[in-house]
Structure 1
Amino acid sequence: MTFRNLAHGVAAIALLAATACSDNAEEAAGGQEASASATDTDQAAGGATAEDQVQLGTLLKEAVSALDETQAAISAIDAGNNQEAIDALARATGKLEIILTREPNLALAPVANSVIEHDVLATPGDVKALSDRIEDLTDEGRLQEARRLMEGLASEMVIRTSNLPLGTYPDAIKRAAALLDEQKPQEAKLVLLNALSTIVVTETIIPLPIVRAETSVEAARVVAAKKDRTKEDNQAIAAELQKAREQIEMAQALGYATKKDLDDLQDAIKELERETGEGNAADRFFERIKGLFGKAREAVQPKKN
């Protein structure tokens, strides 16, 4: 399992919470289970499986233990107990070796994560008006006023993960242990403090309008797959696809993904409306739009330096 899938495991959990923010899809499905299945949610998060999430939990535990043992070693050095510090570093090394044995190609081991949610209670028209106001203020050189207005233009979950860099951290632990053997505790402490300063923070952004649109499309898919659909079923499909369209409009207003990505999603929703409106299950079209949602979510992620 790559770190990409580890991050997606965390993202899948956040997506479950984001899904709850949308309107109740079960009503649209006439009582059927219309929310995305666990597998669908994993795919929406970028391919993380239930197994990935189990491994994420295991690796988190081992990595956090290694970090705790590093802190314990520093405390032992401060207390003048070099042997206790060496023992703590030996335990930390063991934890890191477990991680590297299971995932030899893993570059970053997650030790902590947090989720921050931002949302905006407005229509796409409201957002556009505010965007125009920000542009006017910027043109006038009133950047601070523009900045304060811009701070509210977000509808997303930000998953922030702290990671141990496995390319350097284990070697630093071994180097500190060697210095302790040489009776150089302060040098060992400096090595450990430097190692702790190399913790890498990564962010995954879950754009809520895109997630909500995808949830509505999934609800429509469940109803469209029913045999002998009723008039009420067809109305429910149309309502869910309309909600999806509105959420994509919000994503466009807020500037999530690229213009092409969101235009492609709008076109795909039109195709679904046409196909389902003719009484078809539209399986091929629903499958195609999944890929478009994935592409749009990927475009939102912070660019790596």
Structure 2
Amino acid sequence: MKVNSVQGALLAALACVLVGASFTANSLLGAYPYAGGQALRYGIACLLLVPLAGRGAAATLRSLTRRQWGRLAALAAIGMVGFNLAILAAERTAEPAVPGVFVGCAPVVVAVLIPLTARRRPARPAVIGALLVAAGACAVQGWGRTDAAGIVWSVGALLGEVGFAVIAVPVLRPLGPRLLSATVCGIAAVEALIAGLVLDGAAVLRTPTGQETAALLWQAVVVTVIGFVCWYMGMQRIGAERATLFSGLIPVSAALTAPLVGTGTYGAAQAAGSLLVGAGVACGSGVLGKRRPTAAPAREDVPATR
């Protein structure tokens, strides 16, 4: 792999590890209004990201078309607010492992969907790697009790995870990772607040406890500001297909950090699943592929999407 691809892989991996750790933070926010908490999280993140957006950010935003603004609104609604609310709704009637298993299938969907929309055949290594990652994610999380509603909302969470990568592809180049992250966080904060007013009314926000404040700041600063920028920088370098492979690290990271707050254990099944995820990432990202001659640049190192 070229240096640019290695950097992209490391950035995508770091982003997904941070997101997985956020699941542990979520367990500390069970009593806080969910949509209101997401509005706070994204609002704080937006304020922190705006200074990092770079000079000319306002002019860039003014140059966006209505279609691009619509895509940004859809990215925030589907890939961020919708994803989070779908997870919450699924866990009302299903054990947390159920939506986790569905979300773990996102690499398979992206590995097939992105090439089809670009009118090309899915790459066999990417599909095989995605299947291994999905199997590993399922092994890490296991399965649990659910009903029809839990499955429907889990499918919604899967669509949200896929949308977070796929919908962003056309607007990543004109905005760049930092401005894209700042913009969608601002939009998501407004959308989450509106959803909270509909769902919770006047109780959408309240003063968080010290523990809740720490969890919200972790989600805003570490998971959102650092995680989102790293994710889109990684996707910019290696493409959505390969970047999404690293989402298999989300349940691995969650399983590793859960014992720290007493909300889970890490045993043989989690270890075996982690190895499968690692093998899938290595296979699909090209790490296990043969090195090509330097005179002929490897096409697999060119981002799969623009």
> Larger Rg: 1 or 2?
1
TM-score, normalization: structure 2? 0.27
Higher helix proportion: 2
Higher RCO, Cα 8 Å, sep 6+: 2
